[in-house]
Amino acid sequence: MSLKDQITEDMKTAMRAKDAARLSTIRMLLAAIKQREVDERIVLDDASVVAIVDKTIKQRKDSIAAFQSAGRTDLVDKESAELLVLQAYLPARLSNEEVGAAVATIVAGLGASGPGDMGRVMAAVKAQLAGKVDMGAISAAVKSALSK
C-alpha cells in the first residue's frame, strides 16, 4: 500500500472515529498532495509524498516557534497536535552517527574535497537520504566531512 493510500485510509478512520483534529490535519495533507499532483499533472510516488510531509512539518515547527514568541499557547497546542499526526507519516529518522557515516561514504564515492564541492555533495546526499533526516543535520554533516 502506498503512503498516499495509507493517508487516505487514515482519513477514513478519523472520520469514523469523529476525530476532528486528526481529520483536519490529514485533509490538509491530502490537499497539499492533490495540489501538487494537479499543478504538475503527475501521480506522486512515496518519496514525493514524504517530501510534502517533511515540508508541512517544517511549516508547523516554524509556526510553533512564532506562536511561542507571541505567547499564543492555544495555537501552539493546535500546531503541536498537527505535528504529531504528520510525523507518523515519515520514515524512521537516522541518528547523527548514521548520517555522518552516510555522508562520509558519499563524499568518498564522489571524490569530493573542500567547500567548493558542497553543492554536488548536498545534491547526492539529498537524493539518498530524503525524508530520513532533517536537512539542517545533513548540511552540518557535509560541512564537517568536507573540512577534513
41 & 8 share domain: yes
The full DSSP string for the chain is --HHHHHHHHHHHHHHHT-HHHHHHHHHHHHHHHHHHHHHTS---HHHHHHHHHHHHHHHHHHHHHHHHHT-HHHHHHHHHHHHHHHTTSPPPPPHHHHHHHHHHHHHHHT--SGGGHHHHHHHHHHHHTTTS-HHHHHHHHHHHHT-
Shared domain check, 72 and 22: yes
Residues 13 and 71 in one domain: yes
Please give the Cα distance from 14 to 24 (Å, whole number).
9
Of 87, 118, 137, the one marking the end of a domain is: 87
* Whether residues 14 and 32 fall in one domain: yes
Q: Are residues 136 and 64 in the same domain?
A: no
Q: Which of 63, 87, 111 is the last residue of a domain?
A: 87
Q: Looking at per-residue confidence, does 145 or 44 come out higher?
A: 44
Q: Quick one: pLDDT band at residue 6, thresholds 50, 70, 90?
A: very high
- Check residue 120 and give its pLDDT: 86
| 110-131 pLDDT tens trace | 887 777 788 888 888 888 887 7
* Parent domain of 22: 3-87
Q: Note whether 8 and 68 are same-domain residues.
A: yes
Kindly indicate the confidence band of residue 18, based on its pLDDT and cuts at 50, 70 and 90: very high
- Taking the alpha carbons at both ends of the chain, their separation in whole angstroms is 43
Rounded to whole angstroms, the Cα distance separating 55 from 89 reads 12
Question: For the chain, how many structural domains are there in total?
Answer: 2
**Whether 33 and 65 share a structural domain:** yes
At 77-123, the pLDDT tens digits run 999 999 999 999 988 888 888 888 888 888 888 887 777 788 888 88
Q: Is the pTM of this model over 0.75?
A: yes
